[in-house]
């Protein structure tokens, strides 16, 4: 038996299913952004992304068909309204793409580690390189336009130090003052702010155009949650006299006509909530000040509760496509005994 004919295992089928959902959603979102963007450089970037993303979707559906597996529904033309007015202002489309490429890089690296077949591993290597390439391109574009705040500046060290004071972990010095954040801690806290600023704008737009009242209230709750997290993280930085960079780009327009289905917006929110949980976990792992993990844990708890309630709403409204199931051996035994 050649390697190309080795059947897919459960983790490979699961990852292909997840990636198909995400990439078909991206085709809908970027397709709408493309229909409204009139800036040549941004349009060229979005179009190139769309073309390559479509090729990945077709490749995944081809693998599933070859294996005799059902191709997921994912997201289709029914989930996007190309005639809807612009919902987000200049640069938001590229900011959104940059945020989603952060998420995609992590997802594809994880899926690579869940794969055994060479062709599946090769797929995720290319997906990872693709996401990293567009993260780089979107970052360069937004930086050139002057609308991408960077993490706080720092004075470079001229020598190496080792801490011998146990109070370093407590977050306080011997004189009772709080220890200034180190660069590792600042990096993860600032990324939390940056991600939630993008999330706040996304939730504001979603709440404005959602059709189902329950979805509208959920997105409004998401907006308030992101504002709460931004405030909490900003206060941590300000406590160490660290300014928090901001941007006014990517404002939400006054349109109330939705470019996307409630199903798509809820799924997109679920993806970003998962990303937020992962970021909080990383921040907790790398923090050397004992007060920070507790604050990040409480934030993660809020995000988890929000994500869990969103999952219930999606199931209630029939917006949740079931992943492929394992065989129910108990049920099969019952059928055999009849």
Which letter does DSSP use for residue 109 in this model?
Answer: H
68 is written with which tokens? Answer: 């005799």
- Residues 194 and 122 occupy one common structural domain: no
User: For 21-78, how does the pLDDT look when each residue is reduced to its tens digit (9 = 90+)?
Assistant: 999 999 999 999 999 998 999 999 999 999 999 999 999 999 999 999 999 999 999 9
Name the more confident of 200 and 162.
200
Averaged pLDDT for residues 234-240:
90
In a domain, 183, yes or no: yes
How many domains does the chain fold into? 2
pTM of the model: 0.90
pLDDT of residue 250: 85
Among positive and negative, which fits the CA dihedral 197, 202, 206, 209?
positive
- Residues 93 and 137 occupy one common structural domain: yes
With 50 as the cut, is the pLDDT of residue 249 above it? yes
CB atoms inside a 10 Å sphere around CB 126: 15
Last residue of a domain, one of 112, 144, 176: 144
- Residues 134 and 179 occupy one common structural domain: no
pLDDT of residue 1: 42
CB atoms inside a 10 Å sphere around CB 241: 8
- Residues 182 and 286 occupy one common structural domain: yes
Helix locations, the chain, DSSP H: 10-36, 40-66, 92-113, 118-144, 167-170, 183-209, 213-239, 262-286, 291-316, 329-337
In a domain, 312, yes or no: yes
Averaged pLDDT for residues 252-277:
94
In a domain, 2, yes or no: no
Mean pLDDT value across the chain? 89
Q: Domain range for residue 189?
A: 168-316
In a domain, 276, yes or no: yes
- Residues 46 and 179 occupy one common structural domain: no
Do the Cβ atoms of 58 and 223 come closer than 8 Å?
no
In a domain, 324, yes or no: no
pLDDT of residue 184: 86
What per-residue string of b and e applies to 280-291 under the rule 16 or more CB within 10 Å gives b? bebbbeebebee
Measured distance CA(266)–CA(244) in Å, rounded: 29
- What is the CATH number for 209? 1.20.1260.10
């Amino acid at each position: 038996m050649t390697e190309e004919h080795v059947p897919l295992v459960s983790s490979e089928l699961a990852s292909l299913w997840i990636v198909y959902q995400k990439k078909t959603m991206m085709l809908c979102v970027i397709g709408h952004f493309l229909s409204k963007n009139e800036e040549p450089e941004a349009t060229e970037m979005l179009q190139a992304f769309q073309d390559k993303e479509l090729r990945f979707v077709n490749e995944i559906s081809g693998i599933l068909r070859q294996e005799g597996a059902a191709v997921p529904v994912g997201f289709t033309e029914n989930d996007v309204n190309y005639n809807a007015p612009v919902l987000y202002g200049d640069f938001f489309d590229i900011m959104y793409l940059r945020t989603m490429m952060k998420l995609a890089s992590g997802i594809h690296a994880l899926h690579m580690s869940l794969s055994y077949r060479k062709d599946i591993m090769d797929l995720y290597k290319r997906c990872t390189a693709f996401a990293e390439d567009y993260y780089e391109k979107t970052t360069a574009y937004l930086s050139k336009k002057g609308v991408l705040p960077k993490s706080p500046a720092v004075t470079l060290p001229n020598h190496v130090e080792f801490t011998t004071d146990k109070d370093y972990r407590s977050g306080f010095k011997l004189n009772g003052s709080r220890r200034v954040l180190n660069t590792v801690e600042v990096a993860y806290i600032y990324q939390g702010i940056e991600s939630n600023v993008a999330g706040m704008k996304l939730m504001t737009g979603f709440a404005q155009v959602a059709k189902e009242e329950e979805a509208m209230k959920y997105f409004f709750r998401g907006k308030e949650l992101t504002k709460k997290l931004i405030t909490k993280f900003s206060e941590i930085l300000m406590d160490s006299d660290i300014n928090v960079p901001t941007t006014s780009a990517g404002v939400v327009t006054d349109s109330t006509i939705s470019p996307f289905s409630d199903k798509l917006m809820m799924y997109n929110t679920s993806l970003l909530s998962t990303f937020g949980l992962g970021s909080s976990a990383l921040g907790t792992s790398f923090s050397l000040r004992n007060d920070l993990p507790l604050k990040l844990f409480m934030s993660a708890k809020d995000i988890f509760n929000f994500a869990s309630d969103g999952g219930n709403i999606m199931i209630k409204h029939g917006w949740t496509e079931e992943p492929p199931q394992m065989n129910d051996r108990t049920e099969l035994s019952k059928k055999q005994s009849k």
